[in-house]
Structures are given as C-alpha cells and as structure tokens.
Amino acid sequence: MTASLDQVRQAALALPEEQRAQLVDALIATLKPEDAAPLDDAWLAEVERRSEDFDAGGVAAFSWEEVKERARQRCRPHA
C-alpha cells in the first residue's frame, strides 16, 4: 500500500460510521462492471438459481436503499 493510500485509509477509518458508509457507497458507485472479477461456475449457478426463484415469485424483492439500511442495522452494536 502506498503512503498516500494508507493516509486516505486512515482518514476514512477515523470518520463516523455514517460517513464511512456514505464513502463506501460513493466509491462503489465509481466502479465499472467490467472491473469486477469474473464469476466462477458456482456463483453463476447460484445467480441462476436465485433468478429462477425470483421469477417464480418465491422470494421478495427489496430496493437497494432497504438493503443498505438493513445491513447498517445489522452492523450496529446492540445496546
């Protein structure tokens, strides 16, 4: 890791949780699909299975906003 990348990482880790989540969202939004690692056969089979489940009405769909909020709630410490 370069010095500047390490500095950015340290600064990002010092942010409050909500701002770190916003930063992650912003960074992910900059990635191009062609930059993603190719899926192996097991993942392709899983995608196909899930797609078939969805098409058959066997699973509920959630908006990206709902998914992110649920993930954030799961990551928060329980008091």
C-beta separation of 34 from 41 below 8 A: no
3-state secondary structure of 38: coil
Percent of the chain clearing pLDDT 90 (strictly above): 54
pLDDT tens profile 6-22: 999 999 999 999 999 89
Mean of pLDDT over the chain: 88
Burial 37-61 (b: 16+ CB within 10 A, else e): eeeeeeeeeeeeeeeeeeeeeeeee
For residue 74, what pLDDT is reported? 87
> pLDDT digits over 57-78, tens only?
999 899 999 998 998 888 887 6
